[in-house]
Structure 1
Amino acid sequence: MIRRVGEHALLVETADLAEAHRIDARLRADRPAGVTEIVPGPRTVLVVAPGADLARLRARLGELERGGNGDPAAGIGEVVEIPVVYDGADLAETARLAGLDVDEVIARHTGTELTVGWLGFAPGFAYLTGLDPALRVPRLDTPRTAVPAGSVAIAGEHSAVYPSASPGGWRLLGRTGTRVWDLAADPPALLRPGMRVRFRRAGG
């Protein structure tokens, strides 16, 4: 389904995350005239196009919904490896909540290939899906006022790397020196929807 959002945007509602990734990838590979922003979500793709012919854009999006031709954009399915020093403030408590020892938490976190579902919360903050069910612990009852950039964390069904220092309520497992948000890079976000991510245990 395609809905109008305000004066300059359309929202495509998809059946699942995979379909949202396909539509997002095809739009980026062959961006329609006038489109300035493409924002994928768990089951949506927001397309912002100030001044564009929204009727024509709606027809194009309808083709993509029905599986119109066009190859996915580069990066979909690409694997990014992120080294992690597992010394996070919540590592031991996470192990206790999960009923595991610390080494098993690390083994499960590094042993599962995750997928970038969507970006949100802060620039470059990628919600990584596919977390091992044994590690699906709740957020902190009281969020921290400051989480350092590069912190590797989990909460519920997701894992993430904090792209910059910010408040946060996810449980911290460790830290990485990999920059997932860099304004000098093109694109600034290292992780993009559809990419796969593997965490690797690194020395301190």
Structure 2
Amino acid sequence: MSRGDGGTNQGDDGTKVRVLPAGPHALLVELADGQHAEAFHAELLRRRERGALPGVREIVPGARTVLLDGIPDGIPDGIEGPRGGGAWVPEHGGARVPTARDRLARELLSWQLPPLQSEMHDAVEIPVVYDGPDLDEVAALWGVGADEVPALHSRTAF
């Protein structure tokens, strides 16, 4: 992982995962959509519970992202160098030394997540009356008559 660039991987289902540095001690994982982000977040929580993500203090889900914060300093054991350097460690012996954040980024890209399963929920029906003062305006925006708005609106699952 180079400064400012993220790693990218494509899953078996064709979805892309990008891992980007986010400050000196964090990674931002970008996923295809909210469903994939939710599945990735759940997997992170499972693995942290098993002790597989030592040092990661916070796992913060977003709409299409998951932030992992509090990744340890990043300087591998036995390497002399300034602390607080995050993923950008000085050269050591002529080669760049991978940090904890670098290794975690590569590991995240290699994960094979279980296939997404759509959850079925019982429908909740909310009685609605379509007689508001903006009904004609909504109909005009949708390009339909006011009498068609209830049917169009009620066929959409939210």
| TM-score normalised by length of structure 1 | 0.39
Q: Answer 1 or 2: higher relative contact order, Cα 8 Å, separation at least 6.
A: 1
Q: Which has the larger radius of gyration?
A: 2
Structure with greater helix percent: 2
Structure with greater strand percent: 1
